[in-house]
Amino acid sequence: MSTDAPDPLLTSLLAAVDAAPDDVPLRLHVAELLLARGRGAEALQHCSRALTAAPGDPPARGLLRRGTAALAAPQSPQSRPPAVPPAAPAAGGTERPPARPDFDWRQAEEDVADVPQLEPAFVEEAGDPVVEDVLHAAPTVRLADVGGMEQVKQRLELSFLGPMRNPEMAKAFGKGLAGGLLLYGPPGCGKTFLARAVAGELGAGFSEVGISDVLDMWMGRSERNLAEIFRVARRKAPHVLFLDEIDALGQKRSHLTHSAGLRNVVNQLLTEMDSLSGKNDGVFVLGATNHPWDIDSALRRPGRFDRMLLVLPPDEPAREAILRHNLHKRPIEGIDLGKLVKATDGYSGADLAHLCDTAAERALADSVRTGRVRPLTTKDVLTAAREVQPSTGPWFATARNVALFGNSDGSYDELAAYLKKNRKL
């Protein structure tokens, strides 16, 4: 469909939008239609208007993202003038196409690219033209990709990565691969990410059981499945079995009075872990949860998950790695990572990703409004940080209660020490 073909529905809707400029859902509906008809630039303009009226509105942001993706994809908007072949973009470097019914994202980026005062992407890397290879999205993550968190990495190394690498030596020291370690901490702070990095280190020596597997277990075939998982792990020993979101699998049985099926799963997990600890047969269980206090206490007895490891909000090096990862593929200018790292203490990894998204949307909205690429700056991220509060607050409020009431056996000493240090206890 061409842009100037008459479209009564769209025309009447556009009139309606003009009549009610602050009606966000209506505007988004129009934007959606425009996008579907290949009029991406106009759609984006409506999106940014909607975002000005309702900042942070999720549907608007979603549409904005889709709109940008459509624009960024070379051939998707059908109305792109065929005269500019995507294969030869460099030719358009100096001369501008006279009329642009559509906002040409790539073209705009190129336009800005040769503006001389553009600063290097990261301040401290002045002179280094390549930032791409700092953290490329490789298919598998390795521990080296996990920024900071040295203590956590060390504990992982000691409790099973070392023994996995030198099983004979570990046995000689009476430290065979056995038992379990429970990662816990506020949501979005890298527990799953860390475990995946461990998987990257171990390759075939690692398998993961996630929440959806657990759900399948519940649907009747449950106990057999759990037994099956452990049997396979034993056969592949030495092996690390990762049970993510283990509160869904090992919930306190007293909470499950109405579900015999769920209680059975917990019992089965207890049995499986016991059989591991006795035989020392080279299977290590790594668990992760946001709420270790909801786990059946029997699961935390010796031989089961008897060690717990607190995964806190990312420290400075970790925040730097996360911010870098989230920014490096976007049009940025003069980003002062050090400043951002300082301003984002207490933010989770997921929060940081969200900050970067918000900042990018703002810069994009500006770009769309003016028709020129305005790269993302330090200020955009700082502004976003002022608007978006760290999501870890509620978790720490609960954790404080846990440190007060639930630490008689010292299992939450690490947490209590952290809270005390941060004057939260």
Partner 1 sequence: MSEEAGGREHAHLDEVGEAARRAEHLRAVGRLDDAERVARAGLTADPDDPRLLGALSAVLLNAQRHEEGLAAADAAVAALPDGERGHRLRALHLSMLGRHEEAVQAGYRCVTLLPEEPAAATGYARTLQRAGRLGDALRVAQRVVELAPDAADSHLLLADIASDMPDPRSRAVARRAYEQTLRLDPENAAARHDLAVLDAVGHRPARALRGLIEAGRMDPAEPTTIRTVAAVLWQLSWRLRIWLLVATIGQIAAAQTVTGSRIAAAVVLAASAGLGLLTLRDLPRQALPVVRGAIRTDRALTATYLALAYCVLVYVLILVSGFGFMAVTVWVVLIGLGWLALIIRIFRRRR
From the CB of 193, what's the least distance to Mg ion, in Å? 8
Task: Establish if 350 lies at the interface with partner 1 (CB under 8 A).
Answer: no
Ranked by CB distance to Mg ion, the top (closest) residue is: 192
Cβ nearer to ligand ADP, comparing 40 with 314: 314
Q: Cα 167 to the chain's mean position, in Å?
A: 34
Residue type at position 384? A
Strand pairing category for 206-209 and 239-243: parallel
Residue number with CB closer to partner 1 (202 or 399): 399
**Binding status of residue 147 toward ligand ADP by CB under 6 A:** yes
Q: Is 346 in the site for ligand ADP (CB under 6 A)?
A: no
| Residue type present at position 321 | A
Which residue is associated with the tokens 């490891």? Answer: 309
> Residue 23 contacts by C-beta under 8 Å, 6 or more apart in sequence?
16, 17
Residue 288 tokens read as 């992760």
Specify the residue, 27 or 196, whose C-beta has the smaller distance to ligand ADP. 196
| Minimum separation from the CB atom of position 285 to ligand ADP (A) | 17
CA distance to 175, 392, 393, 416, per residue, from 188 (Å): 32, 8, 12, 20
What are residue 285's DSSP bridge partners? 180, 241
Helix axis angle, 222-235 to 211-218, nearest 10°: 130
Residues 153-192 within binding reach of ligand ADP (CB under 6 A): 187-192
Contact status: 354 vs partner 1 (CB under 8 A): no
Task: Report the residue number whose CB is nearest to ligand ADP.
Answer: 349
**Least distance in angstroms from the C-beta of 204 to ligand ADP:** 22
Q: Is 352 in the site for partner 1 (CB under 8 A)?
A: no
Please name the residues in contact with 195: beta carbons below 8 A apart, sequence gap of 6 or more.
Answer: 183, 208, 242, 244, 286, 288
Nearest to 389 by CA among 56, 146, 52: 56
Task: Order across the sheet with 307-310: list the strands.
Answer: 206-209, 239-243, 283-289, 180-184, 307-310
What is the C-alpha separation between 206 and 284, in angstroms, rounded? 9
Q: Which is nearer to Mg ion, 371 or 394 (CB)?
A: 394
Query: Binding of partner 1 at residue 293 (CB under 8 A)?
Result: yes
Determine, following the binding rule CB under 8 A, whether residue 316 of this chain makes contact with partner 1.
no
Q: Which stretch binds Mg ion (CB under 5 A): 189-197, 203-211, 338-346, 355-363?
A: 189-197
Phi, psi (rounded to 5 degrees) for 230: -70, -35
Number of residues near Mg ion (by CB under 5 A):
1
192 is a contact residue toward Mg ion (CB under 5 A) = yes
Nearer to ligand ADP, 103 or 412 (CB): 412
Q: Which residues of 80-90 are buried (b: 16+ CB within 10 A; e: fewer)?
A: beeeeeeeeee
Q: Nearest Cα to 288, choosing from 358, 382, 199?
A: 199
Asked if 38 interacts with ligand ADP (CB under 6 A), we say no
398 near partner 1, judged by CB under 8 A: yes
Please choose, out of 26-34, 88-96, 314-322, 374-382, the segment that lies near ligand ADP by the rule CB under 6 A: 314-322
Nearest to 280 by CA among 176, 180, 205: 176
Which lies closer to Mg ion via its Cβ, residue 192 or residue 411? 192
Q: Which does 190 bind (CB under 5 to 8 A by kind): ligand ADP, Mg ion, partner 1, none?
A: ligand ADP
Which of 30, 321, 335, 355 is close enough to bind ligand ADP by CB under 6 A? 321
User: Least distance from C-beta 398 to partner 1, angstroms?
Assistant: 5
Site for ligand ADP, rule CB under 6 A: 146-149, 187-193, 314, 318, 321-322, 349-350
Site for Mg ion, rule CB under 5 A: 192
Site for partner 1, rule CB under 8 A: 211, 215, 218-219, 247-248, 251-252, 254-259, 261-262, 291, 293-294, 397-398, 400-402, 404-406, 408, 425
